[in-house]
Structure 1
Amino acid sequence: MSLKLSSARWLGLVALTLSGQVFSAELTLNQAIEQALEQDLWQTSSARREQALIDRAESSGSLPDPSVTLTAGNFPVDTFDIQQEPMTQLSVAVTQMFPRGDSRALSAQKNRELSSQQPLLRQDRSLKVEQAVTRLWLQGYEAQESIKLMEQERDLLRQLVDAARAGYASGLNNTRQQDVVEANVELIRLEDRLAELRQALAVTRQQLGEWLSESGEVFESGQFVGLSKGPTPDQLPTAETVIQHPQVLAFERRIQSSETGEALARQSYRPAWGLTAKYGYRDDDLMGNNRADLMSVGVTFDLPLFTGNRQDREVSAAVADTEALRTDKTLLLRRMRSELSAAMTEYAYLYERKTFYQQQLLPQVQEQASAALSAYHSDRGDFPSVVKVRTSVLNTRLARLKIETSLHRTLADIRYLSATALSSTESPTSGSSSSGELKNEK
């Protein structure tokens, strides 16, 4: 049996190695973010869009290609003799068109302004990736640590049930059969909660595979470790930092490009010009006398006289587009300020609750559990009270863990909205600190 298991593990390791990437046994939040940013193909796509707009700017700033016209003109239809008529000629004409006003320069400028959006959008994307990966990592961390707490509580409860069953069988204490049955039911409930958490942990690992591996591999069985200590509420940024957010700055580039589009639309009031140079070759006449070749130069231009239904409308539409973008930017700033203020308020309350749980509630619940267990061992308490208070300890620990992860989820939102990257100087706490307290108590 052990040989089969060893072979299966070896084959699994080989399969993972051949597939291209094997995840380490531990995954810190910083590692997850760095790996997700390295695997983000959107950055490559954005860089290519930027280059396309730069190339388009160069193209739109150039003159259109000249056109060449070859003509065999004024041939007599009775003989088609090139020498018969003096007007008969072979001609070549070259025409160069010149776009309206400054439309070439403005079109190039508009594309350059659009291309300048892309670096800012890439910064925004990096912040969004950090936010999304942080949320998933915290989700996995919470499920992992909750499983540890429940497994340790389950082991302790099993020991208590075994001791109570032995006491009931020997009649040495006041434990009733009903008490033992109720404790067994509580153990079954714990197993169900554990199954639910294992399901959530497995799903989270699958979801992380989207960000951490280009081939879709999954962080199967490693540990989420190194949850950092969050800053105090007075260390958070102000709501006005959203003004310098990459998404807001990218919106300003769009507005600049739209303003250039207004100027480009106004060029439609100016005429487009064309210059033509034509050279005509004539053969000698029938008597052998030389005929002079002909040279022509001409200018063509349009007259934008009827502007009411075209040029005026185009300019009006361009102005409306710009004003709409300005309104959208105002709405974006208002929304981001509101979200950042709300997140900072939520963070302050969560930080206060975390401190309350650590310094007051959890120590008192642990003291209550110790007192109940001591009373039971000295025959001054009953078994249901011990089970009840142990359940209370577990629920309090889980609540504190949830507050801690909610605090960091809110911090991830604050970091995105304030465009603040995750600091690598924060000191990490032990990944199993929550579960370690119960182990020490045992």
Structure 2
Amino acid sequence: MFSYSRRNVTTPRRLAVFCLTTIAVSLQAGELTLPNAEQQALSNDYGVQALQAQSSTFAEQAVAADTWMDPVLSIGTMNLPGNNPDPFNQGMFELKVEQMLPRGNSAGIQRRKNELKGEKASVAASDRQLTLLREVRLAWLDVWYWQKALQQLQDDRHLFESLLSVTESMYSQGRKNQQDLLRAELELSRLEDRIVSVNAGLKQSRAQLARWIGQADLDTISSELPEWQAIVDIDDQKLLKHPLVQTADLAINQSDQDVALAKEGYKPQWGIEFKYGREMGDMSTMGAAESRDKFSAMVMLDIPLFTANRQDRQLSASQYQREASTIQRLETLRALQGQLQTESARFTGLQNRISLFREQLIPQVISQSEASLKAYQADVGDFADVIQAYKARLEMTLEYTRLQADTRQSYARLRYLLPAEQDRQLMTQQSAQGTTL
């Protein structure tokens, strides 16, 4: 059997993670913040509502399963002579009530099985909500990246336009050759093509986000990213509370009920019968009136004698299913632990790269681009060095923006594996506003 130990985790026990919180700034009208996108995604998802309704369905079926079968009422006449079939002169009037009882504790077990099915549907709804939160966060951050990248390209277009103006001025003064001017025009055209490509990516990412939030006319989102906040434990033991693991636990419990139900099949099923009869016909031939009323009571039961190909097989099948459910739980937990280790390592690496870009690479590439331009203007530098420096500055800025989005997307995946308390509160709030029967 697979067992998990804290020693299996290769990431540090404590890892700095950040919470997705709204920054207290005034936003332009029409901008979609991440918390608003989360709320819209949860409230507009029909899958969650369907699972919640299914949970209520099983709750009602659980009550019905733990109820006796309806009694059977029979009314008729008996012993009618063939030559005079008059029920009022010959024969016997009979009224019979028959009630079959559940086999052992099978009714209670069936009730528990339906209750477990309802719990599984409820847990499945929680997992779908967590999945929605993860996907809408990933989609929102993609839109943020493309929107930010487009803005950076547009800003850098002004830099390249200024560079082209400088080159034209120096060319008109005879200080530079035509090759530098053509190179500047080419790089500006290539930048325009890059803007067109990024704009297409922005439209696609908006369409993906609109799919989750149900808003077809999505325009712009907030330019503010969620803030870093607290330090929390990345503890694999918390995975035991994940909806997928809880679903596997409920499947094992349901298999236990199937085993118990199969064992009830070896017990006899009891029934009771009460009968009242009244003899009809001539008083002189039938005796005194008080002797005409007949009462009887009987007990019925079936006897499970031939169990080899029925009860034994059903019990064996339920035990195999229980074993399969246990193995599936181990596999589910192992998969989640692997995802947690992978994503924790990825998050740590992205954090380190963010710090390196912010503290070293970005300042260095900005200084290099400014220095190369000054050297070119002073006729001591080459134009190719200027172009290369500005292109490196643009690429470094875009990569830093991508890192910002990737880091928060990694955090969103961690939040799916280890939901924060505010996630649970949001899910509970949306569930309370869901479909009611």
TM-score norm. by structure 1 comes to 0.84
Q: Which SS does the other structure have where 1:358 is aligned?
A: helix
Return the letter of the residue paired with 1:147: L
Per the alignment, residue 204 of structure 1 pairs with: 205
Tell me how far apart the structure 1 counterparts of residues 144 and 368 of structure 2 sit (CA, whole Å): 28
Tell me how far apart the structure 1 counterparts of residues 245 and 325 of structure 2 sit (CA, whole Å): 11
Residue 126 (structure 1) shift:
2.1
Tell me how far apart the structure 2 counterparts of residues 157 and 346 of structure 1 sit (CA, whole Å): 35
Per the alignment, residue 153 of structure 2 pairs with: 150
- Per-residue deviation, residues 114-165 of structure 1 (Å, max 9, x unmatched): 2223443333222211100010011101101110111111121012113312
Per the alignment, residue 13 of structure 1 pairs with: none
- Which residue of the other structure, out of 257, 280, 302, is the alignment partner of 2:254? 257
Mean CA deviation greater in 384-393 or 116-125: 116-125
1:92 and 2:92 aligned: no
Per the alignment, residue 409 of structure 1 pairs with: 409
1:34 and 2:32 aligned: no
- Which residue of the other structure, out of 66, 70, 94, is the alignment partner of 1:61? 66
Return the letter of the residue paired with 1:225: S
1:103 and 2:106 aligned: yes
- Per-residue deviation, residues 235-276 of structure 1 (Å, max 9, x unmatched): 452222212212212321221122112111110000111111
1:226 and 2:224 aligned: yes
1:116 and 2:119 aligned: yes
Rate the CA distance shift 1:164–1:236 in 2: closer, same or farther, 3 A. farther
1:189 and 2:190 aligned: yes
Q: Which SS does the other structure have where 2:41 is aligned?
A: helix
Per the alignment, residue 6 of structure 2 pairs with: none
Tell me how far apart the structure 2 counterparts of residues 114 and 423 of structure 1 sit (CA, whole Å): 24
- Per-residue deviation, residues 33-53 of structure 1 (Å, max 9, x unmatched): 122122223332222111111
Tell me how far apart the structure 1 counterparts of residues 355 and 422 of structure 2 sit (CA, whole Å): 23
Return the letter of the residue paired with 1:414: L
Per the alignment, residue 352 of structure 2 pairs with: 352
Tell me how far apart the structure 2 counterparts of residues 76 and 149 of structure 1 sit (CA, whole Å): 105
Tell me how far apart the structure 1 counterparts of residues 382 and 86 of structure 2 sit (CA, whole Å): 128
Tell me how far apart the structure 2 counterparts of residues 119 and 80 of structure 1 sit (CA, whole Å): 62
Tell me how far apart the structure 2 counterparts of residues 330 and 395 of structure 1 sit (CA, whole Å): 45
Return the letter of the residue paired with 2:241: Q
Rate the CA distance shift 1:361–1:35 in 2: closer, same or farther, 3 A. same
Q: Is the 8 A contact 1:246 1:419 kept in 2?
A: no
Mean CA deviation greater in 336-345 or 222-231: 222-231
Residue 300 (structure 1) shift:
1.6
Per the alignment, residue 14 of structure 1 pairs with: none
Alignment of 1:71-86 (within 5 A): 71-82=76-87, 85=90
Q: Is the 8 A contact 1:71 1:90 kept in 2?
A: yes
Q: Is the 8 A contact 2:148 2:223 kept in 1?
A: no
Return the letter of the residue paired with 2:406: S
Return the letter of the residue paired with 1:251: A
- Which residue of the other structure, out of 229, 243, 262, is the alignment partner of 2:240? 243
Q: Is the 8 A contact 1:92 1:280 kept in 2?
A: yes
Tell me how far apart the structure 1 counterparts of residues 362 and 153 of structure 2 sit (CA, whole Å): 16
1:282 and 2:282 aligned: no
Tell me how far apart the structure 2 counterparts of residues 283 and 235 of structure 1 sit (CA, whole Å): 87
Q: Which SS does the other structure have where 1:269 is aligned?
A: coil
Q: How many residues align?
A: 394
Tell me how far apart the structure 2 counterparts of residues 257 and 391 of structure 1 sit (CA, whole Å): 62
Q: Which SS does the other structure have where 1:185 is aligned?
A: helix
Tell me how far apart the structure 1 counterparts of residues 86 and 232 of structure 2 sit (CA, whole Å): 95
Q: Is the 8 A contact 1:140 1:201 kept in 2?
A: yes
Q: Is the 8 A contact 1:29 1:226 kept in 2?
A: no
Q: Is the 8 A contact 1:230 1:408 kept in 2?
A: no
Per the alignment, residue 305 of structure 2 pairs with: 305
Per the alignment, residue 317 of structure 2 pairs with: 317
Return the letter of the residue paired with 1:357: F
Q: Is the 8 A contact 1:137 1:224 kept in 2?
A: no
Mean CA deviation greater in 73-82 or 367-376: 73-82
Return the letter of the residue paired with 1:229: E
Rate the CA distance shift 1:422–1:102 in 2: closer, same or farther, 3 A. closer
- Per-residue deviation, residues 338-389 of structure 1 (Å, max 9, x unmatched): 1101111111111111111111111111110110111122222232221221
Tell me how far apart the structure 2 counterparts of residues 107 and 396 of structure 1 sit (CA, whole Å): 63
Residue 420 (structure 1) shift:
2.4
Residue 321 (structure 1) shift:
1.1
Q: Is the 8 A contact 2:244 2:332 kept in 1?
A: no
- Which residue of the other structure, out of 129, 133, 140, is the alignment partner of 2:132? 129
Q: Is the 8 A contact 1:121 1:250 kept in 2?
A: yes
Q: Is the 8 A contact 2:89 2:280 kept in 1?
A: no
Tell me how far apart the structure 2 counterparts of residues 332 and 387 of structure 1 sit (CA, whole Å): 52
Q: Is the 8 A contact 1:242 1:419 kept in 2?
A: no
Per the alignment, residue 216 of structure 2 pairs with: 217
Residue 28 (structure 1) shift:
1.9
Q: Which runs of 5+ in 2 are unaligned?
A: 1-27, 425-437
Tell me how far apart the structure 2 counterparts of residues 245 and 319 of structure 1 sit (CA, whole Å): 26
Tell me how far apart the structure 1 counterparts of residues 87 and 357 of structure 2 sit (CA, whole Å): 106
TM-score norm. by structure 2 comes to 0.85
Per the alignment, residue 420 of structure 1 pairs with: 420
Q: Is the 8 A contact 1:128 1:416 kept in 2?
A: yes
Rate the CA distance shift 1:66–1:235 in 2: closer, same or farther, 3 A. closer
Q: Is the 8 A contact 1:147 1:194 kept in 2?
A: yes
Rate the CA distance shift 1:111–1:83 in 2: closer, same or farther, 3 A. closer
Q: Which SS does the other structure have where 1:223 is aligned?
A: coil
1:272 and 2:277 aligned: no
Residue 316 (structure 1) shift:
1.0
- Per-residue deviation, residues 165-208 of structure 1 (Å, max 9, x unmatched): 2321331x22x222222222222222222112111111221222
Q: Which SS does the other structure have where 2:265 is aligned?
A: helix
Residue 290 (structure 1) shift:
4.2
Tell me how far apart the structure 2 counterparts of residues 256 and 423 of structure 1 sit (CA, whole Å): 27
Return the letter of the residue paired with 2:141: L
Per the alignment, residue 432 of structure 1 pairs with: none
- Per-residue deviation, residues 306-360 of structure 1 (Å, max 9, x unmatched): 1011101111111111111111110111111111011111111111111111111
Q: Is the 8 A contact 1:283 1:290 kept in 2?
A: no
Tell me how far apart the structure 1 counterparts of residues 66 and 89 of structure 2 sit (CA, whole Å): 48
Q: Which runs of 5+ in 1 are unaligned?
A: 1-22, 425-442
